[in-house]
Structure 1
Amino acid sequence: MLEERGRIVAIESNAVWVETIQRSACNGCETKSACGTGLLGDFFSSSTRVRVTLNGFPADKISLNDIAVIGIAENALSSSALLVYLVPLVSLVLVALLGDYLFAEIGAVLGALVGLVAGACGVCWYSRRQSSNSIYTPILLRIEPGSGHS
């Protein structure tokens, strides 16, 4: 199970909204302060809000700004990453080869573009179909008191 910590920004009756900060791998590096890549990573870091069901946690025991530890299965993340990167790439190459076979060089270029777009659309279609699949939804693992408690 891969874990991520985030700050609770909203509380519903059966779910919480968790804001996570996406950072580069440089945050764990000891030479981060002396490295330009680490500074750029801090500059371009962004936050994401995720809705997470409570899974039996009592909503009245949770406060705003508490730290929520959410998790997702490793196989779900790795299979999703393979799908997102591999399907458009494979479709790009296959349709480019088909275009080259049928229409020479211009067919390869147009086929590559068509294959890339078709692969990306296929990934979007698949992800919409899997949006209700519980394997791909993060789960609430535990709550760590944050600045919301005195």
Structure 2
Amino acid sequence: MILPRYRIAESTIQGAGKGLFVDEFVAAGAIVTAPDEIDRTYRWADIQASPDLYSAARWFEDRYTMSPDWPDECYVNHSFQPTGLWHLGFIFAAKDLPQGTEITVDYRHLLAPGQVEAFADAQTGEKITGLSWQESLRVSTHALAALLG
């Protein structure tokens, strides 16, 4: 579920295709996306064995949600300097986001530990490699606590 008004348009990130943009101001720390219609999670081994499941995002430990389609939340692109903070399936505004801001997150939180994304970071050219669950939780919890004061 995407909470602020938004639109899907060409991404500002070279090679990224389309992106998700907020159509209203979003204050730092506000929730941009929240879990919606999550009725099942899958272990990473199950995902690797099932080619018909389309997109995956890690939520906790070795548990992922899968989607056979492409919901609008899938238009959130990667950045090592993201406008959104991924934490346990929520995306929080990482700073005040003016209307028209593209929502990005650090994909290392969504990937399996050690999994390398098929593309590199557009700005730095660095590989995007999934963090361990513990590191992802430590980093995102610390960042959220700092953001919320």
Structure having greater relative contact order (Cα 8 Å, sep ≥ 6): 1
State the structure with more CA Rg: 1
Judging by fraction of residues, say which structure has more helix: 1
Please confirm whether the aligned pair reaches a TM-score higher than 0.5, indicating the same fold: no
TM-score (norm 2): 0.21
TM-score (norm 1): 0.21
